[in-house]
Amino acid sequence: DAKTTQPPSMDCAEGRAANLPCNHSTISGNEYVYWYRQIHSQGPQYIIHGLKNNETNEMASLIITEDRKSSTLILPHATLRDTAVYYCIVRRGGGNKLTFGTGTQLKVEL
Amino acid sequence: DAGVIQSPRHEVTEMGQEVTLRCKPISGHNSLFWYRQTMMRGLELLIYFNNNVPIDDSGMPEDRFSAKMPNASFSTLKIQPSEPRDSAVYFCASSFGDPGKLFFGSGTQLSVL
């Protein structure tokens, strides 16, 4: 599975959009991009995933560049409860493993 | 739905003792995963099952670790004998259909003294 690179930490003001970047320049055509988050002392939580089209659900939006080498997770109106480690993961289509990296620690502040 | 249920939430034991962690996946899910999380190594996949059959146990650290899934609603991860370096949070997760969309339990915090 392709390797991902994320900034180790980011800050965001409450109520503002949080834009979390992820680089996956070696991604292959059949690899999906998944995003999870882990709030302190809890298990990871699935957020969203995509292949090449942008995706949106009740939690977030996922923007994937046309060349698929990077993506951005957008939390449109961040709240204090969105403070967590966010993981960007690339998974091969048909593969059964999710390999978590170190993620981005997002801190949402007043 | 109650989600993935793990027990116990916390386990403190002494080196050399046997430890058994338990997991009940979400009803209807056909894949189950065991992960371990430490500060040093992050989240590591230990083993996963598909339809109760172990598919990949390459992440199991050594022979002291074993996992079973006797039926679709129950799995165990056993460590015998336990060592201090096994101290970690152990997560169980299950999925159905999309193996990338996992539902995690709350984890078991294991401390081996």
pLDDT tens digit string along B16-47? 999 999 999 999 999 999 999 999 999 999 99
Q: Which residue of B has its CA nearest to A96?
A: B99
Percent of chain B with pLDDT over 70: 99
Residue A80's φ and ψ, nearest 5 degrees, are -60, -30
Give per-residue burial for B30-41: e unless 16+ CB within 10 Å, then b. Answer: ebbbbbbbeeee
Q: Which residue of A has its CA nearest to B58?
A: A97
Say if residue A7 is preceded by a cis peptide, omega within 30 of 0.
Answer: no
Q: Kindly determine whether residue A49 and residue B56, on different chains, have CB atoms separated by under 8 Å.
A: no
Q: Is B74 part of the contact surface with chain A (CB cutoff 8 Å)?
A: no
- The string of pLDDT tens digits covering residues A69-94 is 999 999 999 999 999 999 999 988 77
Mutant choice from A1, A6, A91, A96 vs B, greatest count of B C-beta within 10 A: A96
Say if residue A44 is preceded by a cis peptide, omega within 30 of 0.
Answer: no
